[in-house]
Amino acid sequence: MSRELGYLRICAAVPVLRVADIDLNVGNIIDAMTKARNEGVQALIFPEMAITGYTIGDLVQHQALLSKAQQGLRRILEASTGNPMLVIIGIPLEVEQKIFNCAVALNSGHLLGVIPKTLLPSYREFYEDRWFTSSIDASSDTIELIGERVPFSADILFGLQGLPFALIGVEICEDMWMPLSPHEYQALAGATVLVNLSASNEVLGKADWRRIMVSSESGRCIAAYCYTSSGGGESSNDAVYSGHILITENGTTLRESDRMSSGLKFVISDIDLERLAHDRRVFATFHESSSQRKNFRIVETEVGDPIPGRLWRTLDPHPFVPAEPKGREQRCREIFSMQVSALAGKLSGAKKSNLVLGVSGGLDSTLALLVAVKTMDFLGLSRKSVHAFSLPGFGTTRRTRLNAARLCKALGVCFEQVSITRTCSSHLRDIGHSGKQDIVFENVQARYRTGFLFNKANESGGIVLGTGDLTEIALGWSTFSGDHISHYNVNASVPKTLVRFLVRWVADEELADSPAQKALDDILKTPISPELLRPDGDEITQKSEEVIGPVELADFYLYLFIRFGTRPGKILYLANEVRKQGLFDSQYTLDDLHRWLVSFVERFFANQFKRTCLPEGPKIGSVSLSPRGDWRMPSDAEAILFLEDLEEMFRKLQAYM
């Protein structure tokens, strides 16, 4: 399954170490290899000088230690026989009567290549040029090592057969910290996974610096970066080593170890190679740096496939909403400020001072109203410049009508309620419609409301503010030339799951203990509905999530499909993993996930014609469907191959159950 889904299972390990005790170190390394093999690891990374210890000082110049190190490497090589796993380990090697600080790559009893360190720190507590020679000064590009002729240089990348996007670049410690680091050239040459064998000591603040460095470098290179550093077994004569491990992917930290802890440190993560390949395709400027590209030798090797089961990767069930309350509050404040700033700019540019919008007592129009009010405050204009209209139709309930009125009154905007039932009934008669509750019955109301608002905007010299959110835009849950049209839409790139959190944030932070907060509390509890079908008494009968699916699923699917170009089959696999971990807000079966994903794909393709003529609106997050900016797609594109991919995965997941 790993190969099919495009994941690489990588592990960084820091075994228990004693300086110059090579037999003990090698034994612990082999134990870590066994553990990695049992977890289905495909690439295993050890620290710099892991076989001998980094802090051996002048002992590295002794033949006894150098010979013993090679004997230890032979033991490790023999232990790897029959185990198709790429292992990269640090060791000092004598080459050309010089000593090189090296990373050795091996697999299944064979040596693949040796990468000598390029940049040698010789400042403060470091003085590596006392012992080691830089890769720049090596004369040979192959060496004899343990009876094999092996590539030797910093120009080696390792390709993994069966994983087309897996190309691994290796550097050692200081190589990462300096400008024009080896990993930058490796990434430009196609490496998607960068590994660093390090012996970075600890000083106050260095761990934070390291996190920032590793994360930012993975983002700059659109790559995964696996960093593993020497641990507490190193000499503490003049420094402290913590065994810090970081695995990042395109700017995001996937896994991190504890520091200053005893015992084996062992961190596994599944790298999404397809995501990295997608972003390198999309961000074309990445390849425009190819003039700086160097030539690399690629050594191909084969790795196993992880056993089916756990995915070593944190899955976010609500990718548009920060999981941490503190982060969520900061995100909401930033988004709301962006919406206000964008709307203020639009009004100023259009030389308008009035806003017209429809308020339904639902989430989307509520958020648009809150943004409109804040914008007027920002511009120093009266809130009476916001003209809010409640336009109750056949399906409007007393609850939503009263909530809209209470909120507008509490916010101090101009508010008017105009029933549209008489006009819509007349129009239905004019077109010879029987009055049955069909698509015509629904759309007559939506289109009349839009026309009413545009006419009111003409009357006041203002602009019509749209309210539809990103989720509805993706699914086409709007009436063409009805509520999908406006002069400007501040919610255009805000998904439904985030709309809810934004309204909640405004209620609690901006409007706490006010009449407006009470109205917002009830709006947040109201079922999502366009209210275009007649209610049952005063109960909403038309519930959006019963038609288009749960919005948390729609947003999960949307984020993966647009942001990373994820195949529908893989989306289903990931959704099922989230389901099994109980991370969604509601309980779903695999059949539920499949049914709503089929619906998502079909709706997304069928409704591109609505997105082609969307009104303007600010891009807020990394996912946007603006036809002028982020998403260009023909309206008559077929969804067949996407649905086929989905069905194939669905059958496989059913077989696993």
Tens of pLDDT, residue by residue over 163-176, are 989 999 999 988 78
Domain with residue 615: its CATH number is 3.40.50.620
Closest CA to 165 of 275, 283, 37, 19: 275
pLDDT of 421 > 90? The answer is yes
Ordered strands of the 355-358 beta sheet: 414-417, 386-390, 355-358, 463-466, 488-489
Residues 439-451: what's their mean pLDDT?
97
Residues 398-419: b if buried by 16+ CB within 10 A, e if exposed: ebbbebbbbbbebbebbbeeee
| Confidence at 235, pLDDT banded by 50, 70, 90 | confident
Q: Which residues, in sequence order, are CB contacts of 504 under 8 Å at separation 6+?
A: 520, 524
Boundary residue ending a domain (267, 302, 337): 302
Task: Give the pLDDT confidence of 184-193 residue by residue, as tens digits.
Answer: 999 999 999 9
Q: Out of 117, 265, 570, 610, pick the active-site residue.
A: 117
Percent of the chain with pLDDT strictly greater than 90: 81
Report d(CA 115, CA 170) in Å as an integer: 7
315 occurs within a structural domain: no
Catalytic residue among 11, 48, 217, 274: 48
CATH number for position 61? 3.60.110.10
Asked whether residue 436 falls in the same domain as residue 580, the answer is yes
User: Does any domain span residue 313?
Assistant: no
- Does 457 share its domain with 603? yes
Helix axes 515-525, 398-411, angle to 10 degrees: 150
Do 244 and 350 belong together in one domain?
no
Read off the pLDDT of residues 536-590 as tens digits, 9 standing for 90 and up. 888 999 999 999 999 999 999 999 999 999 999 999 999 999 999 999 999 999 9
Question: What is the C-alpha separation between 11 and 163, in angstroms, rounded?
Answer: 17
| Whether residue 173 lies in the annotated active site | yes
The residue with tokens 């996930």 is 593
SS3 404: helix
pLDDT band of residue 483 (cuts 50, 70, 90) is: very high
Range from 65-69, 116-120, 142-146, 215-219 carrying the lowest mean pLDDT: 116-120
Q: Are 610 and 478 in contact (CB under 8 A)?
A: yes
What whole-number distance in Å separates Cα of residue 548 and Cα of residue 551? 8
CA pair distance 187, 153, nearest whole angstrom: 17
Catalytic residue among 102, 128, 171, 173: 173
What's the pLDDT band for 1 if we cut at 50, 70, 90?
A: low
209 — pLDDT class (breaks 50, 70, 90): confident
> Does one domain contain both 284 and 383?
no
Which is higher by pLDDT, 510 or 641? 641
What pLDDT digit, counting tens, does each position of 256-305 carry?
998 878 889 999 999 999 999 999 999 878 777 666 667 899 999 999 98
Residue 57 has pLDDT above 80, yes or no: yes
Total count of domains within the chain: 2
Same domain as 612, residue 553? yes
Q: Averaged over 487-491, what is the pLDDT?
A: 97
Residue 151 confidence (pLDDT) above 70: yes
Query: Do residues 283 and 394 both lie within one domain?
Result: no
Query: In terms of domains, do 107 and 183 share one?
Result: yes
pLDDT band at 601 (very low <50, low <70, confident <90, very high): very high
CA distance readout (Å), 301 to 105, 341, 519:
10, 53, 63
Mean pLDDT of the chain: 93
Residue 625 contacts residue 473 (beta carbons within 8 Å): yes
Does residue 403 sit in the same domain as residue 298? no
Does the annotation mark 48 as catalytic? yes
Query: Do the Cβ atoms of 393 and 361 come closer than 8 Å?
Result: no
Which residue range forms the structural domain that includes residue 621?
Answer: 325-656
274 lies in a domain? yes
Residue 308: which pLDDT band, with cuts at 50, 70 and 90?
Answer: low
Q: What is the mean pLDDT of residues 587-600?
A: 98
**Do 298 and 329 sit in the same domain of this protein?**
no
Q: Are residues 255 and 186 in the same domain?
A: yes
List Cβ neighbours of 508 (8 Å cut-off, separation of 6 or more).
Answer: 517
Q: Tell me if 8 sits within 8 A of 14, measured CB to CB.
A: no
Examine the domain organization and report whether 83 and 168 are in the same domain: yes
Please list the residues that pair with 167 across neighbouring strands: 159
How is residue 639 written in tokens?
Answer: 């969804």
**Cα-to-chain-centroid distance, residue 78:** 40
Query: Does a structural domain hold residue 93?
Result: yes
Residues 368 and 291 in one domain: no
Annotation marks residue 346 as catalytic = no
